[in-house]
């Protein structure tokens, strides 16, 4: 019962203070933290148990990271490119160093300083995206780089959690251990992603006709907790498992639907998590360490602003865009809470540090909207003070995109990319099969067949493992379609290139041979004839690969189809939008979809009569009306409520387009609905309705109608237009109050 009571207190407090935050136009997270502070144990106003709150909080972290994974995509990492990686990397490295230095200056231990550096590196994805939504800035030129940097930061944060945990447990910096932990993390993430993308879409397709919203939601949460258990089983955090499963489901065709369904649950448990964070705020600690809080806050905001702007500037984004990125990222986010809590739970950070970090995060969160707004005047001022030649040199150039495009066409680059990708992917899968055999197959054989000799069980284990590995071994020694085409072009271009191509092929065969021989070394005591086994196995693998590749390529084809199906469907559903985004991604060209409200003042007018083109200069390239799609609509096409207009234009043109829509749409305050009533009227000789048919009385034009008539003992519902009203009839008039009273 205490668990329910604690949850009731948490949710009521969260509800009250989020309403206050909304009224004050502040982020909801602030409301949650303040609510936690009020109901927390330090003020003593409510008897609430922290043990149950910690349990709810852990579940909250799982759902937060799961939802974050659903918004994350490994493909986004490729699409946002090196600019976002450099920006996020410079910021994280710079702030990590600042944190370590700052911790040392204020007298914290080495481990506390390292954790401080880690948590200062993380901005808040949730707060920034919400702020940009509210302020209508998502289509600004710098927004793509900003959101791409946040994607990389989320991944870096997950890596940091694993590395810091390893460092805290060993309590010393050992490069070998850290590299081993990083390699282990990379191995399991790749393995889970490959297996998940192969199996989960197949399961979703098989069960598609049964997947109601309820079943899909339950299944997605079930998969999330399965991955949480798996992650904890191999020594990682529950948060990592939730994040990985979210990122896997994000690549499926049901990803957006799951993200929508999980929204309410994420909000619920996210509220519990942030309220629990507020409960850790101790006013006595804040009063004692106010100077430390102030120093960390100033260092965090200035440091993040500088390193983020510098990182963006290094990638050629220009002064204005770089400063906008820096000002937008200048706050601590939810990962700061998680990393600080991790340090306290592992016993490497003193308890007072947690409320100190929360106080810093609250202050920086409060300043976020003002920092974003300050970016425009500050960037204008900086540009006015810097020499024009320097500004021009720092501006992004179109030639950079052309060079990148030309480099991508290099056939050797393509071939090496395919080579190392296949080596990584199939190497991880082969290692996964070996681990399963070592930890499960051998133990099962020993338990199921104890009377068999160890050598016999070893041969069976080795052969079963090799059979399970064979599809991946064959795929490893063969080229994919793209690699085959690149190899052919290289050989046709210059005959000497065949030696390089053959060398790569031979290397893969040797790797496959060693991988295939590993089970025999693992489960059998091979000594003298091991080399002969390697040679024979190499020849066999290569021979089978040449003969059977078409039969075994379905595994790779299925994985590729699953990985690209979501994108393929998006292209089919929105061919114009995706084409514009693909071909003009390097330029200031954006797509904006707007649903026309029934309160839009130009309903019924044609596109030619709209102020879109001559005021904002946008082009309407698509009009969607229900399931009907009109591509490149003509000027005489009329606009109706709930039509979706797809406009293309520059950043300024899109902003002007949105302003036109907003300025010409009436607000709810402009509508004063008339009261709807039903009046009962007995007709006498003086009534203006007597002797007229329903068609002749013109009541509909006045905003009301007769729904029923009582002729003597005959009651008629929905009378016909030709029915004539007589003296003594009783009628029921429905409509706006003013019209009904006139006829009454």
| Choice among 161-165, 350-354, 486-490, 662-666 with the minimum mean pLDDT | 486-490
Four-point Cα dihedral 549, 551, 556, 561, nearest 10 = 140
Percent of the chain at pLDDT > 70 equals: 78
β partners of residue 629 = 624
Does residue 343 have a pLDDT over 50? yes
3-state secondary structure 80-105: HHHHHHHHHHHHHHHHHHHHHHHHHH
Does residue 138 have a pLDDT over 50? yes
Q: CA–CA separation, 552 vs 75, rounded Å? A: 26
Q: Residue 431: its pLDDT value, please?
A: 83
Spatial CA neighbour of 577 closest among 514, 608, 639, 619: 619
Contact 256, 567 (CB under 8 A): no
Cβ atoms < 10 Å from Cβ of 681: 16
Decide if 399 is inside a domain.
Answer: no
Q: CA–CA separation, 505 vs 486, rounded Å? A: 13
Domain match, 303 and 374 both: yes
Domain match, 307 and 275 both: yes
Mean pLDDT of 655-681: 75
Q: Where on the phi/psi map is residue 623: left (φ > 0), alpha (ψ -120 to 50), or beta?
A: beta
Does residue 405 have a pLDDT over 50? no
More confident residue, 681 or 411: 681
More confident residue, 559 or 472: 472
Taking CA 104 as the corner, what is the angle to CA 102 and CA 107, rounded to the nearest 5 degrees? 110
Q: CA–CA separation, 556 vs 551, rounded Å? A: 11
Does residue 171 have a pLDDT over 70? no
Domain match, 317 and 435 both: no
Decide if 295 is inside a domain.
Answer: yes
Q: Residue 442: its pLDDT value, please?
A: 78
Does residue 523 have a pLDDT over 60? yes
User: Of 622, 653, 670, at which residue does a domain stop?
Assistant: 670
Does residue 407 have a pLDDT over 60? no
Domain match, 55 and 204 both: yes
Nearby residues of 266 by Cβ (< 8 Å), 6 or more positions away: 63, 64, 66, 67
Residue identified by tokens 């136009």 is 25
Residue 399 banded pLDDT, cuts 50, 70, 90: very low
Domain match, 462 and 350 both: no
More confident residue, 590 or 526: 590
User: Of 529, 561, 593, at which residue does a domain stop?
Assistant: 561
Dihedral sign (CA 143, 144, 145, 151): positive
Q: Residue 29: its pLDDT value, please?
A: 75
Residue identified by tokens 């990182």 is 311
β partners of residue 714 = 711
Cβ atoms < 10 Å from Cβ of 164: 21
Dihedral sign (CA 38, 42, 46, 51): positive
Residue 617 banded pLDDT, cuts 50, 70, 90: confident
Residue 574 banded pLDDT, cuts 50, 70, 90: low
Q: In what order do the strands lie in the sheet with 714-717?
A: 676-682, 730-736, 704-711, 714-717
Decide if 397 is inside a domain.
Answer: no
Q: Residue 416: its pLDDT value, please?
A: 73
Residue 483 banded pLDDT, cuts 50, 70, 90: low
Spatial CA neighbour of 15 closest among 1, 2, 32: 32
Structure tokens at 426: 């199939």
CATH code where residue 58 lies: 1.20.1530.20
Residue identified by tokens 């959101």 is 147
β partners of residue 595 = 644
Contact 534, 513 (CB under 8 A): yes
Question: How many domains does the chain fold into?
Answer: 4
Q: Where on the phi/psi map is residue 604: left (φ > 0), alpha (ψ -120 to 50), or beta?
A: left
Decide if 149 is inside a domain.
Answer: yes
Q: Residue 531: its pLDDT value, please?
A: 54
Give exposure, 658-668, as e/b (b: 16+ Cβ within 10 Å): bebbeeeeeee
Average pLDDT, the chain: 77
Mean pLDDT of 56-61: 77
DSSP type of residue 596: P
Domain match, 117 and 91 both: yes
Mean pLDDT of 534-540: 61
| Choice among 54-58, 273-277, 369-373, 633-637 with the minimum mean pLDDT | 54-58
Pairing relation of β-strands 644-649 and 704-711?
A: unpaired
Q: Residue 647: its pLDDT value, please?
A: 84
What tens digit of pLDDT does each residue of 180-204 get?
A: 666 777 777 777 777 887 788 888 8
Nearby residues of 712 by Cβ (< 8 Å), 6 or more positions away: 728
Contact 724, 692 (CB under 8 A): yes
More confident residue, 174 or 685: 685
Does residue 131 have a pLDDT over 80? no
CATH code where residue 591 lies: 3.30.70.1450
Q: Residue 383: its pLDDT value, please?
A: 82
Residue identified by tokens 């013109």 is 698
Q: CA–CA separation, 555 vs 139, rounded Å? A: 40
Residue identified by tokens 């102020």 is 611
Residue 408 banded pLDDT, cuts 50, 70, 90: very low
What tens digit of pLDDT does each residue of 410-457 get?
A: 666 676 777 777 787 788 888 888 888 887 887 788 778 787 777 788
Highest mean pLDDT among 108-117, 380-389, 643-652: 108-117
Mean pLDDT of 66-87: 72
Residue identified by tokens 């031979």 is 506
Structure tokens at 332: 């601590």
Nearby residues of 91 by Cβ (< 8 Å), 6 or more positions away: 121, 149, 153, 304, 307, 308, 311, 329
Dihedral sign (CA 367, 372, 378, 379): positive
Taking CA 125 as the corner, what is the angle to CA 120 and CA 129, rounded to the nearest 5 degrees? 140
Residue identified by tokens 């379905």 is 554
Q: Residue 179: its pLDDT value, please?
A: 66
Domain match, 167 and 76 both: yes
Residue 272 banded pLDDT, cuts 50, 70, 90: confident
Q: CA–CA separation, 505 vs 513, rounded Å? A: 12
Domain match, 365 and 266 both: yes
What tens digit of pLDDT does each residue of 314-334 get?
A: 877 778 888 888 888 888 877
Residue 404 banded pLDDT, cuts 50, 70, 90: very low
Q: CA–CA separation, 462 vs 699, rounded Å? A: 89
Residue 679 banded pLDDT, cuts 50, 70, 90: confident
Residue 577 banded pLDDT, cuts 50, 70, 90: low
Residue 485 banded pLDDT, cuts 50, 70, 90: low
Nearby residues of 603 by Cβ (< 8 Å), 6 or more positions away: 596, 639, 640, 641
DSSP notation for 716-737: EES--TTPBP-TT-EEEEEEEH
Decide if 96 is inside a domain.
Answer: yes
Domain match, 556 and 605 both: no
Four-point Cα dihedral 294, 299, 305, 309, nearest 10 = 180
Structure tokens at 662: 């907003």
Domain match, 99 and 224 both: yes
Q: CA–CA separation, 428 vs 436, rounded Å? A: 12
Q: CA–CA separation, 662 vs 611, rounded Å? A: 12
More confident residue, 550 or 119: 119
Does residue 382 have a pLDDT over 60? yes
Spatial CA neighbour of 476 closest among 504, 450, 502: 504
Nearby residues of 41 by Cβ (< 8 Å), 6 or more positions away: 48, 50, 279
Q: Residue 400: its pLDDT value, please?
A: 43
DSSP type of residue 140: S
Does residue 223 have a pLDDT over 80? yes
Decide if 393 is inside a domain.
Answer: no
Give the structural domain span for 147: 2-383
Q: Residue 402: its pLDDT value, please?
A: 42
Q: Residue 134: its pLDDT value, please?
A: 62
pTM of the predicted protein model: 0.67
Decide if 160 is inside a domain.
Answer: yes
Mean pLDDT of 267-281: 79
Does residue 584 have a pLDDT over 60? no
Decide if 285 is inside a domain.
Answer: yes
Contact 487, 554 (CB under 8 A): no
What tens digit of pLDDT does each residue of 79-107 get?
A: 656 778 888 888 988 988 999 899 888 88
User: Of 561, 576, 597, at which residue does a domain stop?
Assistant: 561
More confident residue, 343 or 398: 343
Domain match, 664 and 685 both: no
Domain match, 141 and 235 both: yes
Nearby residues of 85 by Cβ (< 8 Å), 6 or more positions away: 77, 152
């Amino acid at each position: 019962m205490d668990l329910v009571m604690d949850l009731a207190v948490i949710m009521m407090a969260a509800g009250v203070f989020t309403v206050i935050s909304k009224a004050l136009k502040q982020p909801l997270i602030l409301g949650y933290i303040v609510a936690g502070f009020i109901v927390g144990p330090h003020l003593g106003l409510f008897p609430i148990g922290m043990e149950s709150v910690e349990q709810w909080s852990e579940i909250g972290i799982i759902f937060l990271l799961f939802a974050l994974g659903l918004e994350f995509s490994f493909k986004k990492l490729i699409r946002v490119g090196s600019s976002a990686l450099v920006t996020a990397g410079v910021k994280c490295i710079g702030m990590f160093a600042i944190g370590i230095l700052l911790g040392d200056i204020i007298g914290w231990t080495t481990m506390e300083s390292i954790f401080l550096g880690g948590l200062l590196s993380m901005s808040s994805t949730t707060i920034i995206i919400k702020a940009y939504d509210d302020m209508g800035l998502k289509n600004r030129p710098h927004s793509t780089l900003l959101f791409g940097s946040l994607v990389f930061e989320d991944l870096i944060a997950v890596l940091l959690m694993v590395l810091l945990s390893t460092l805290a447990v060993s309590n010393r910096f050992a490069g070998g251990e850290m590299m081993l932990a990083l390699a282990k993390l990379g191995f399991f993430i790749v393995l889970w992603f490959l297996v998940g993308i192969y199996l989960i879409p197949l399961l979703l397709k098989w069960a598609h006709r049964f997947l109601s919203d309820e079943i899909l939601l339950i299944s997605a949460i079930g998969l999330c907790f399965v991955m949480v258990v798996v992650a904890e089983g191999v020594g990682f955090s529950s948060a990592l498992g939730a994040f990985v499963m979210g990122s896997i489901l994000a690549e499926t065709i049901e990803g957006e639907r799951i993200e929508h369904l999980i929204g309410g649950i994420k909000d619920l448990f996210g509220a519990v998590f942030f309220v629990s964070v507020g409960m850790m705020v101790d006013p006595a600690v804040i009063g004692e360490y106010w100077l430390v809080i102030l120093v960390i806050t100033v260092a965090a905001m200035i440091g993040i602003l500088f390193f983020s702007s510098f990182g963006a500037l290094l990638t050629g984004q220009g002064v204005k865009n770089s400063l906008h990125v820096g000002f937008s990222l200048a706050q601590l986010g939810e990962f700061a809470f998680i990393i600080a809590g991790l340090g306290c739970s592992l016993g490497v950070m003193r308890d007072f540090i947690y409320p100190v970090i929360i106080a810093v995060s609250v202050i920086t969160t409060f300043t976020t909207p003002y920092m974003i707004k300050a970016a425009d005047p500050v960037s204008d001022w900086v540009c006015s003070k810097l020499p024009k030649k320097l500004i021009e040199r720092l501006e992004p150039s179109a030639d950079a995109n052309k060079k990148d495009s030309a480099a991508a066409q290099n056939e050797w680059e393509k071939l090496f990319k395919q080579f190392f990708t296949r080596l990584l992917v199939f190497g991880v899968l082969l290692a996964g099969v070996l681990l399963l055999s070592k930890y499960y197959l051998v133990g099962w054989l020993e338990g199921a067949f104890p009377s068999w000799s160890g050598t016999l069980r070893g041969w069976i284990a080795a052969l079963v493992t090799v059979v399970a590995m064979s599809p991946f071994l064959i795929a490893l020694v063969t080229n994919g379609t793209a690699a085959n085409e690149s190899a052919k072009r290289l050989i046709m271009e210059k005959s000497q290139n065949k030696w390089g191509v053959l060398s790569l092929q031979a290397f893969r065969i040797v790797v496959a041979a060693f991988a295939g021989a590993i089970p025999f070394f693992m489960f059998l005591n091979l000594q003298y004839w091991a080399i002969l086994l390697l040679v024979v196995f190499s020849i066999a693998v290569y021979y089978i690969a040449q003969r059977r590749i078409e039969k075994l390529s379905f595994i790779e084809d299925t994985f590729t189809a699953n990985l690209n199906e979501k994108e393929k469907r998006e292209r089919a559903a929105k061919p114009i939008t995706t084409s514009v985004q693909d071909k003009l991604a390097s330029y200031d060209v954006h797509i904006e979809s707007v649903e026309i409200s029934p309160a839009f003042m130009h309903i019924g007018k044609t596109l030619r009569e709209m102020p879109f083109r001559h005021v904002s200069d946008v082009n309407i390239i698509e009009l969607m009306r229900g399931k009907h799609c009109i591509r490149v609509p003509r000027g005489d096409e009329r606009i109706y409520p709930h039509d979706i207009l797809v406009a293309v234009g520059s950043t300024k043109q899109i902003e002007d387009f949105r302003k036109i829509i907003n300025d010409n749409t009436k607000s709810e305050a402009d509508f004063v609905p008339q009261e709807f009533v039903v009046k009962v009227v007995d007709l006498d000789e003086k009534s203006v309705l007597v002797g007229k048919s329903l068609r002749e009385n013109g009541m509909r034009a006045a905003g009301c109608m007769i729904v029923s008539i009582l002729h003597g003992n005959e009651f008629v519902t929905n009378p016909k237009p030709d029915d004539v009203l007589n003296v003594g009839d009783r009628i029921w008039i429905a409509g706006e109050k003013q019209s009904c009273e006139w006829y009454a």
